[in-house]
């Protein structure tokens, strides 16, 4: 049983463009599928806006109501509209990536790969840094030294806060990757146990691992949604720090 085979990137085809070898993998294809799904959802959801929304419009409105409320609560009335589209896009991409990985046989979880999650985390992190310097200039460093601290403790707090800030993209990446991989590995272990027991004389014992699978599937769907929410929420907090400092 190969537990990590489901996460392996496979080259589907390759070509050369301007002397550069470009490989199209299963991960690349799934990211294109996710982007296409996002385009379709938003295109048909906003094509004909009506007071009585259709299914697409209702779904889009539900997502935006959710993300707008969180952004408004944390970023404030003055700023939330500027950053809600960007943060909502991140949320939907991570959510669809997590959920598509749950599709049996053909699913591939792109958010189980460090390169994808780290790229998203770095985009948010670097954007928050650029935004902080744009809004506050060198006063952005006040983020690492909260007001009201005794003078003698400021250097220590500054170093601790700076290290914590530097590790933000790493922790953001590790949390998402670890949760996506762990759930999928557990599902594969129990599905293998069910198949192994059902194909042997111990078929009567396949009930327990099958029951665990029935519990794990909705649990993993919940984890996929909650991890997208946590990734989105932390992204909002990083933007909030850049805007309001402390």
Interior CA angle at 133 toward 154 and 80, to 5°? 105
120 pLDDT higher than 90 = yes
99 pLDDT higher than 60 = yes
- Report which DSSP code applies to 123: H
For residue 188, the SS3 value is helix
Yes or no: say if 76 and 18 are a contact pair by the CB < 8 Å rule: no
d(CA 93, CA 111): 10
* DSSP letter string, 84-102: HHHHHHHHHHHHHHHHHTT
The predicted structure's pLDDT at residue 118: 94
151 pLDDT higher than 90 = no
Task: State the average pLDDT over residues 161-172.
Answer: 92
With cut-offs at 50, 70 and 90, classify the pLDDT of residue 191: confident
71 pLDDT higher than 90 = yes
Q: What is the pLDDT of residues 23-57, one digit of tens each?
A: 888 888 889 999 998 888 888 777 777 777 777 77
User: Which position has the higher pLDDT, 145 or 120?
Assistant: 120
Nearest 10 degrees: Cα torsion 168, 245, 92, 63: 150
d(CA 228, CA 2): 27
Q: Which residues contact 205 (CB under 8 A, 6 or more apart)?
A: 197
- What percent of the chain has pLDDT above 70? 89
The predicted structure's pLDDT at residue 181: 86
Output the pTM of the full model.
0.88
d(CA 102, CA 96): 10
Yes or no: say if 102 and 228 are a contact pair by the CB < 8 Å rule: no
Task: State the average pLDDT over residues 203-214.
Answer: 67
Tokens of 165: 């800030």
Q: Which residues contact 152 (CB under 8 A, 6 or more apart)?
A: none
User: Which position has the higher pLDDT, 95 or 49?
Assistant: 95
- Report which DSSP code applies to 141: G
Phi, psi at residue 22, to the nearest 5°? -115, 125
Yes or no: say if 231 and 90 are a contact pair by the CB < 8 Å rule: yes
Task: State the average pLDDT over residues 178-185.
Answer: 84
Yes or no: say if 117 and 235 are a contact pair by the CB < 8 Å rule: no
The predicted structure's pLDDT at residue 5: 65
Residue with tokens 């550069």: 20
Residue with tokens 């085979």: 5
For residue 189, the SS3 value is helix
For residue 23, the SS3 value is strand
CB-based burial label for 4 (10 Å; 0-12, 13-18, 19+): exposed
User: Which position has the higher pLDDT, 118 or 50?
Assistant: 118
The predicted structure's pLDDT at residue 1: 56
The predicted structure's pLDDT at residue 207: 66
d(CA 146, CA 74): 18
Domain extent listing, the chain: 28-244
């Amino acid at each position: 049983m190969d537990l990590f085979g489901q996460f392996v990137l496979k080259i589907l085809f390759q070509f050369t463009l301007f002397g550069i070898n470009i490989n199209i993998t299963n991960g690349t294809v799934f990211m294109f599928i996710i982007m296409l799904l996002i385009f379709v959802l938003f295109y048909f959801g906003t094509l004909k806006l009506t007071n009585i929304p259709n299914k697409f419009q209702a779904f889009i409105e539900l997502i935006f109501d959710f993300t707008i409320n969180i952004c408004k609560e944390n970023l404030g009335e003055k700023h939330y509209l500027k950053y809600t589209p960007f943060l909502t896009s991140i949320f939907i991409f991570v959510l669809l990536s997590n959920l598509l990985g749950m599709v049996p046989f053909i699913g591939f979880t792109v958010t189980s790969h460090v390169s994808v999650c780290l790229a998203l985390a770095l985009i948010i992190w670097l954007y928050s840094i650029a935004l902080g310097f744009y809004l506050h200039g060198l006063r952005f460093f006040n983020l690492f030294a909260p007001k009201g601290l005794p003078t003698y403790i400021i250097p220590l707090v500054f170093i601790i806060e700076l290290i914590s800030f530097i590790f933000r993209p790493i922790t953001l990446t590790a949390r998402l990757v670890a949760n996506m991989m762990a759930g999928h590995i557990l599902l594969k272990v129990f599905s293998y146990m069910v198949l192994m027991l059902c194909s042997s004389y111990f078929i009567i014992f396949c009930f327990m691992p099958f029951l665990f699978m029935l519990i794990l599937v909705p649990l993993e769907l919940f984890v996929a949604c909650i991890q997208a929410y946590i990734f989105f929420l932390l992204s909002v907090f990083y933007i909030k720090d850049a805007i309001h400092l402390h």
